[in-house]
Amino acid sequence: MQSSIAGVRWARPDQLGEALSHLRGGGWTVLAGGTDLYPAWAGRAVDASLLDISGLDSLRGISQEPGETGALLRIGALTTWTDLVRARLPRALDALVMAAREVGGAQIQNRGTLGGNLCNASPAADGVPALLALDARVELASAGGVRSLALADYVLGNRRTARRADELLTAVLLPLRGPAMRSLFLKLGHRRYLVISIAMAGLALEADAQGRIARCAVAVGACSAAAQRLPQLEARLLGLPAHEVARGVEPLLDDGVLAPLSPIDDVRGTAAYRREAVSRLLARGLAELAAELAR
């Protein structure tokens, strides 16, 4: 279905191939749930040609598929936050479910999509730190083929991604870890819900048979132009007994491990406050996860 009013085009394909054919022609703004796009036009007329992909049912849902190094969880780009909250995902993916519960209110969670959150690429996008900690990849399709990128290579900065104009983000791919892994997501805002992040963290830990940290992922959002992992902190945690990490990691959280971050001053908080806040979030989250692994 396609129409045009005053030179502004609107199309709502029901097949992926049709959508990709439109994108190949250029000049389209992709519309999914609309929870980011419509507020950006508040008080003025829509002046972009809209490719409404809400009719692409093939981009909804959660399934398991084989990968090169093990099983993958495939999450369609049009899967909503409510879908994620209601899905029975493995405990290792708790961080994603916790992030889904923090996105706006019930109405936003019912309409907003995982793919839209990643394409909008706000520094405060709730989904990004959780997915970084879970080693997510994104799948991008065009009329010329399909490619996948690590999420860290896809989100390039504030509202910038590696998606080409002729591409559509079709899915998020997550490696399925074993039962020894746990993850969580923590967010600080001025109130509990319906708030943009001041600082947030996605964390994942896995212990070996001796109770030592065998895998560690630490990602921070709202403290730089794009959420990012903290590799130096991850390296310090690897090999430590989980029960020691559970007693506290504050000595590890020095300026060196936080150096990749570049928080800013804005109406929600100062850069100094953000840096202190994320340090507290990381200490609390890592101790909580390690205590669960040490039981």
Residue 55: CB partners within 8 Å, gap ≥ 6? 12, 13, 14
Distance, C-alpha 56 to centroid of its chain: 21
Calculate Rg over the CA atoms of the chain.
20
Enter the CATH code of domain 61-175. Answer: 3.30.465.10
Count of CB atoms situated within 10 Å of the CB of 88: 6
Measured CA to CA, the distance from residue 264 to residue 274 in angstroms comes to 8
Phi, psi (deg, nearest 5) at residue 93:
-105, 20
Element (DSSP H or E) covering residue 72: strand 71-76
Q: State the Cα–Cα distance between residues 227 and 219, nearest whole angstrom.
A: 7
Q: Are 75 and 171 in contact (CB under 8 A)?
A: yes
3-state secondary structure of 286: helix
Domain 181-294: CATH class, spelled out:
alpha beta
Is there a contact between 72 and 64 (Cβ–Cβ < 8 Å)?
yes
Q: Are 280 and 288 in contact (CB under 8 A)?
A: no
Residue 31 class from Cβ within 10 Å (0-12 exposed, 13-18 middle, 19+ buried)?
buried
- Number of C-alpha atoms within 13 angstroms, CB side, residue 280? 10
Helix (H, G, I), strand (E, B) or coil at 242: helix
Per-residue tens of pLDDT for the chain, all 295 residues? 666 655 678 999 999 999 999 999 899 999 999 998 888 888 888 888 999 999 999 999 999 999 888 899 999 999 999 999 999 999 999 999 999 999 999 999 999 999 999 999 999 999 999 999 999 999 999 999 999 999 999 999 999 999 999 999 999 999 999 889 999 999 998 887 778 999 999 999 999 999 999 999 999 999 999 999 999 999 999 999 999 999 999 999 999 999 999 999 999 999 999 999 999 999 999 999 999 999 8
pLDDT at res. 243: 97
Query: CA separation (Å) from 148 to 51, 64, 126, 170?
Result: 22, 17, 21, 10
For the chain, domain boundaries: 2-52, 61-175, 181-294
Residue 11 and residue 23 in contact, taking contact as beta carbons nearer than 8 Å: no
Question: What is residue 265's predicted lDDT score, i.e. its pLDDT?
Answer: 95
